[in-house]
Amino acid sequence: MAFYSYLFFSGNCREAFTRYQEIFGGELRLIAMSDAPPGEAPADPAAADLIMHASLTNGDDLLMASDDPTGDASGAVGFSVNFSTPDTARAREVFDQLSDGGEVRAPLAETFFSPAFGMCVDRFGIPWMVSADPPT
């Protein structure tokens, strides 16, 4: 069994996922509304560049999203996307990149459960938790 996050954006999914690929690497796949066969997507020409489906894969990791088809991606509430790594320096790098232009909610710092843990909301409105794995 696997659980994957599916995020919704308000017209900036392409920009967000391009940025996430810069930060995390991996293979980015973007399907725009204009890529759909005739009659399978909204006919509004203004929606042609909106993202119907985005996926970023890196090994077994998968993050997915789209531009909100209702047009009401009114904010992410009640969740955070979590990124963890065995490397404290990598945790710092990712945290700094995600929080750039966003909001730091808990600075990346050593805690009793992690050598580096922090929380932020990126410039696209997505909440993140970043942590380094404790030594084994």
75 φψ region: left (φ > 0), alpha (ψ -120 to 50), beta (else)? left
Say how far apart CA 57 and CA 35 lie, in whole Å.
20
For residues 128 and 118, what is the distance between their CA atoms, to the nearest angstrom? 8
Q: Which helix (H) or strand (E) holds 15?
A: helix 13-24
Q: Which CATH architecture is the domain 6-67 placed in? A: Roll (3.10)
Comparison of pLDDT for 75 and 29, the residue scoring more: 29
Q: How far apart are CA 31 and CA 53, in angstroms?
A: 5
The pLDDT value recorded for residue 3 is 86
The 10s digit of each residue's pLDDT in 50-74 is 999 999 999 999 999 999 867 666 6
Q: Which residue has the tokens 């069994």?
A: 1
Prediction pTM value:
0.90
Instruction: Pinpoint the residues of the chain covered by CATH 3.30.720.110.
Output: 81-132
Fold assignment, 81-132: 3.30.720
Average pLDDT over residues 26-32: 97
The CATH 3.10.180.10 domain(s) of the chain lie at: 6-67
